[in-house]
Chains A and B, each alone.
Chain A
């Protein structure tokens, strides 16, 4: 009886694991197949490994541009989010000032109120006024503006850093600014790391925002946008192998990060529950 129930459990767990991995494996293996082999769908492993798919996707399907754009957007917005939210979290955690409650309430508000794609329109109009709509900086700024969750995460990490440390530095003649940059921020590294993971993942995977902002500017498109556009293209059926290679270019970097940092990802997701 006990053996039977254990067997059922293992079959179930392995089946779920297999179904979870299956689409990703299909993508990775598919990226090495010819288009004909892919659409015939008859093989699991590629009959001849087509490494040239990547070279062609990189050059002919513009994936070099898309990758550079994705990297730019993800790296700059991650750095921006870390700066903006850690500075705000520091003063909210350590200082008293009028309007503090209102500020925290506003951050919470932006996290919970969702009205969908509507906001993209005024955001786009704003970027036209700022002359940023022809660059990716507009997208980056909008991504940085959504830093409420990073703010709350860093806030809770900040609580764990003893205030006495600040005070000691102050007595030694350290200014508030220097205390933050040289004493508090280095101690905040674990929190910053977690926020960086989340911010990078969010920006790297973002689709709608760069899509709407780069509709008529292929040279600014990111991996997600370029890839989805392949699907809409007239020659979509003949480019499945490019789609697979392009999907891998998007999936693999983040999978590698996940390989090393999956504990942090999972711990933080679990932690969000406790608020």
Chain B
């Protein structure tokens, strides 16, 4: 009797969470797994076409172009943000004046809306009467307006904006890892005559290994997944230069949303297949990285 009562209590308390997760979290994934085998435009008839959507993905140049863009974007974001975050963490792990204030400032971008900041960055980088160009021209640093969101520089611009938003987060994660390294290791190495750079190379880096492996993995996944700020700033343009794969998926489902420059028609079935391939790509890279970086975690 008591047991039945306990079970009833347990299930009734978990029920709201369970229902919401199944209906709004799991079901949509199952929905996509079904429609990836269908020709379905979001209205009218749905037709089962087997693996046709996947052969279409293989030949979809625009998609593979977006995959390449994603790698450039994610690579650029990682190469800039991880070292910067690590250096900041090491510096702000010292007992220096104002370190809490500096940490709070550098972490601040992570609490602000990506979409809102994308609008702000758009007004800053806009080539026509953007704040940055006006400023640079006023002080004669550039002769004519630079098209920061144009064909040549748009990828660099969206990477810089992404780095701005991400460094604080990774800095904080590195700081958490650094605080697990015992102080006396540094003290004894200093007695042995090691300087700061040597300590960094031979103590900090190896002892941070397992944590660093986790942080970089997190950073890779985040970088591959991010598209909100790109969507608001450039909408994947110009001419698909900043079109990343998750943005490409988005446009197959919501073609008219955004700047209104619709180039596609709605493709629910095909979009589901592309989304699946995208998820597989992210998963494969994560697994490859995990095995490739095993050496990093072998310190302890």
Contact = CB atoms under 8 A, between A and B. Distances in A.
A109 to B, nearest CB: 8
B38 interface: no
B17 A41 contact: no
A145 interface: yes
A111 to B, nearest CB: 10
Interface in A124-181: 126, 141-142, 144-148, 151, 176-177, 180
Contact of A97 (B11, B129, B268): B11
Contacts, number: 262
Contacts of B108: 20-21, 24, 255, 258, 262
B257 A215 contact: yes
A247 B134 contact: no
Contacts of B22: 106
A42 B138 contact: yes
Interface of B is mostly: helix
A3 interface: no
A269 B169 contact: yes
A95 interface: yes
A41 B138 contact: yes
A121 B24 contact: no
Contact of A145 (B23, B42, B124, B231): B23
Chain A interface mostly helix, strand, loop or mixed?
helix
B135 to A, nearest CB: 5
Contacts of B29: 113, 115, 119
Contact of A237 (B129, B131, B134): B129
Interface stretch (A53-61, A84-92, A188-196): A84-92
A273 B179 CA distance: 12
Given A141-B24, A207-B228, A23 B13 contact: no
Contacts of A121: 28, 31, 42, 253, 268
B253 A20 contact: no
Contacts of B203: none
B123 A243 contact: yes
A113 B279 contact: yes
A95 B10 contact: yes
Interface residues of B, number: 96
15 contacts: A9-B91, A16-B106, A30-B123, A42-B135, A84-B17, A113-B29, A114-B282, A117-B249, A119-B28, A211-B257, A244-B123, A250-B113, A265-B107, A273-B214, A273-B215
Interface of B: 6-7, 9-11, 13-14, 16-18, 20-29, 31-32, 42, 84, 87-88, 91-92, 102-124, 128-135, 138, 164, 167-169, 172-173, 175-177, 196, 211, 214-215, 221, 225, 227-228, 231-232, 246, 249-250, 253-254, 257-260, 268, 271-272, 275-276, 278-279, 282
Interface of A: 5, 9, 12-13, 16-17, 19-21, 23-24, 26-27, 30, 38-42, 83-85, 87-88, 90-92, 95, 97, 103, 106-107, 109-110, 113-123, 126, 141-142, 144-148, 151, 176-177, 180, 201, 204-208, 211-212, 215, 223-224, 227-228, 230-232, 237, 240, 243-244, 247, 250-251, 254-255, 257-258, 262, 265-266, 269-274
The 7 A-B pairs with the shortest beta carbon distances in the complex, nearest first, are: A41-B134, A207-B115, A270-B176, A205-B113, A145-B24, A119-B28, A117-B250
Given A42-B138, A91-B13, A115-B276, 14 more contacts: A39-B129, A85-B17, A115-B32, A117-B253, A117-B275, A118-B32, A120-B28, A121-B253, A144-B20, A145-B23, A177-B9, A180-B13, A212-B254, A257-B111
